[in-house]
Every structure is written in structure tokens, then in C-alpha cells.
Structure 1
């Protein structure tokens, strides 16, 4: 943890339905390694409006926003950066003297990983979900050049809206859909959730796919990740998404960027205790 805490220590935080230790360990590791007088703490909340008001009133420098608050918080903020405005979803709030500006570093993380893993844009894909994270994924897919995809979402309002926005198809249920790239942006597989032990796609769908992209970060090895690895699929994990979006948040909060070696050390430290 940050040493020599004092009245001038800068505070950053996160708000999530199910807080994990990842962000706390990641950010505080970098604060210590880079000798920054910052402290990071994860929270959940029963009153989002009051919590955002607290960020503003108490001078909290930065606040990470996770499910299910990514869209709900928007009316409480002063400005949306283009990254958040494009998809109407927020995962990062920066406080400049009481002025709250929102960003979406999830989009940056998704776009980075699609490029890093060199996934062919000719691949067909199925994306499960239509919430804040699914919006970031859909936007990144479209911007990368993917065109043959289906959004699967039970929500009959947000599902079709998201599909129409980016020119993809919408299905209410998975059914017997198959694709070369499968992406889960729902809470299925999330630790302590109602569907923590379930697969977000059928075994057959996973076996017929080439790349599995899991957005759920906790646990790092969701049932989907474990099954896909056992079938020797190319797997992109939610832990990788979380680490990249977290370092972009770190830069927004502090104004400095760690080198890649330090970033990898922080990510490893965070995963070890998440």
C-alpha cells in the first residue's frame, strides 16, 4: 500500500456491484513503484447518486465505474469524452476541481486486444449482451472492420438498438447460432453471480469457434475460459481487458504512463490477489 499517507494524499476509487481486489492491487502497486502520493480503494454502493456526489464534494481524483452503473451514472456527470459519448457508457470519471468528466477505457482495451491477437476482420462473430461493456465491444468491432456479426440480447429495447447502431443482426436467444469469434459481455460466469458456474455459450458452439473472447474479469478463469482452453481455442480473457483499461485509467488519474515492464508486473500482482 501507499506509504506515508497524509492530508494531501490523492484518493482514487471504484464503484461496482461486486468489487474485486484487482483494481486496488493494480493501482496501488503502480503508485508505490512510481513513488506517487495516491491511494486507491474499491467500493460498492446502495446509492449511486450520493456516491457520485461524494466523489465531487470530497475531491476524489478518479472513480472507476463497473456494472451495473456504466449508464446509470451519466446524468450525474458534467461532460462525456468522445470515447464515452460514442457509446453512451462510462467506466472512468476524472474529477477536476469538482468538474466530473467521463471516459470509456473499456473501448481502448477491446480495440487493443482485437489488434494484438490479430483476429481476422472477415471472421463472423456473436456478441452476447447489450449493456455498457457490450456497447464498447460492438463499437470496437465495427471500428476494427468486422461486419458479419450478431448481437444476442434478451432485452428487446437495448439489443435491437445496439445491433442497428453498428449494422449488425440481433437475436433474442442464442439458439443454434455459430460463429468464428464468440464474445461474452454478460454477467454469465461472474464470481458470486447467479450464473457463476455456467457457460455463456454451449459446448458445441465453443468447439466450432476459433476465438473465444471473455469480458468477465472475475474470476480470471471463468467456465468459458476454462472450457475454451481445454479445447485449444485462442482465448482472450476479461483479466486482460481489465488490465489494459486500468492502465489507461491510471494515466487519466495521474498524468503519467508506466512502461510496459512495470505494467506487466502490476497486472501480475493484481491477478495474484484478485
Structure 2
């Protein structure tokens, strides 16, 4: 996606994956080599924070950084996962005042939860470990519920799956009973491998509006593009590249 964006705008940038085992050494190398930006994946999204000079306020509240920008040797950390989630949803709905059922309380769910709260949504966190759901709910001023059929029967406008259920290499089954999916419901699955998960396909069969995980992936990368380059990302070119990768 990033390379497609750079080519579309004629920018002299490249985007290269590094296999890192020494995160402190990687940040020193970023300064020494003048690398403009780095994307950070697990398991380093928390470990990198004390190594940076500044943290974006939302990233600090989430407690995870997935993007680092180097401004003349000063490293600032951001989290674009939450931006990806809310922009994917905002393509089809307004989030202010929306009642959202968020499935999961792990790292990905945490970023989504803070993003929803930033946009003024009312969030209920449903998780198999109720204590973790309560902790996340308390952090965003939301509610907590066990991840069971009763949670799905509650009145909500938006349902977001931020668990690993649906991933082809973990458990491809939908985390939501199909009969719980209503026609007036907005459903987003942050899983993007496969892009059309069982949850997304079930939601569409039921007449609900469904957003696949590729949209979140696109928008979080687009925000990284803005931070790295200072330019507006060419979404069409980046989306085409993403679809080519994911199928």
C-alpha cells in the first residue's frame, strides 16, 4: 500500500520490512540513519514507548504505538489503528451517540475502543474474560458484559469484532450467531485475512451493513502515509494495491 501511494504521487520514498529483535537498537538506528518513519507491530507496540521523545496523547491513553515519525532526530509515537477503525466505520455511519457492542478486550480492541470513545460513541465491551472487559470499559467510560448470547440480544447500533475469531489460521468461525444480526445493524470485522470473513458474509445475508477489515487496514496505513510524507494519501491507489495483496 505505501509503495503504491508513493508511486502514485511520484515521491522518492520506499517502505521496507525489517525483522527486529532489539527494539532499542532499532530506534537508535532510526535516529542515526535519518529514517523518516517506522511502522511498529507486535510485540513492540508497548516496549517502544519509553524509547521515544514524545507520544501523541491518544496513543498514550491507548498505551500502544504503531507509528514513529522522526523529525530531525526527535522521535514521536502515534497510534493509527484507532483512526483506521473509526474512519472505516465513518464511511457508512456517524459514530457520535451510536451504541456500540465491541467484542474483545485485547490490544486491537483497546485501540478500537478508544477511537470509538473519541468519536462520542457509547461502548459496551464484551469479552470472555469479564475482568478484562471491565478494565477496558473503565478506561473509556463504557460498560462491560460477558461475551454470550445475552450480549448480542442487547440493543445496539454497531457491532465490531476485535477478537481473533474469523482469522483463517486461528478460528474461521463467526463469533456472532447469525440470528443476532439485524438488518438495521452496522457490523465491522477487523479481521482482514480473509477479507470476507464468515461474520461479514453472514451480516450481508441478513441485510446488515458490513465493513470488512481491509477498510481499517487501508485507513490506518493512509494515516501513516500522512504522518510520514505530509501529503494527502492517494486512497484509490493504496486500496487497489491492498486488494491485490489480500484478494
TM-score band, normalised by the shorter chain? 0.7 to 0.9
CA contact (8 A) 2:45 2:65 kept: yes
Distance 2:111 2:217 in 1: 13
Match of 2:162 in 1: 185
CA contact (8 A) 1:151 1:163 kept: yes
Query: Which shifted more, 48-57 or 59-68?
Result: 48-57
Distance 2:168 2:52 in 1: 29
1:95-134 equivalences in 2 (<5 Å): 95-119=70-94, 121-134=96-109
CA contact (8 A) 1:89 1:135 kept: no
The Cα of 1:245 is off from its aligned counterpart by 1.5
Q: CA 1:42/1:188 → structure 2, altered by over 3 Å: closer, same or farther?
A: farther
**Which of 252, 264, 268 lines up with 2:240 in the alignment?**
268
Match of 1:173 in 2: 147
**Which of 60, 65, 75 lines up with 2:35 in the alignment?**
60
Distance 1:219 1:33 in 2: 27
The Cα of 1:40 is off from its aligned counterpart by 0.8
Distance 2:39 2:16 in 1: 10
Q: CA 1:76/1:202 → structure 2, altered by over 3 Å: closer, same or farther?
A: farther
Q: CA 1:52/1:116 → structure 2, altered by over 3 Å: closer, same or farther?
A: same
1:63-82 equivalences in 2 (<5 Å): 63-82=38-57
So what's the TM-score if we normalise by structure 2?
0.84
User: Once superposed, what is the RMSD of the aligned Cα atoms?
Assistant: 2.6
The Cα of 1:252 is off from its aligned counterpart by 1.0
Structure 1: segments with no counterpart, 5+ residues: 1-25
**Which of 194, 198, 221 lines up with 2:173 in the alignment?**
198
Distance 2:34 2:215 in 1: 30
CA contact (8 A) 1:90 1:132 kept: no
Q: CA 1:229/1:54 → structure 2, altered by over 3 Å: closer, same or farther?
A: farther
Query: Which shifted more, 242-251 or 98-107?
Result: 98-107
Match of 2:16 in 1: 41
So what's the TM-score if we normalise by structure 1?
0.77
The Cα of 1:82 is off from its aligned counterpart by 2.0
CA contact (8 A) 2:183 2:209 kept: no
SS across alignment from 1:40 = coil
Q: CA 1:51/1:142 → structure 2, altered by over 3 Å: closer, same or farther?
A: same
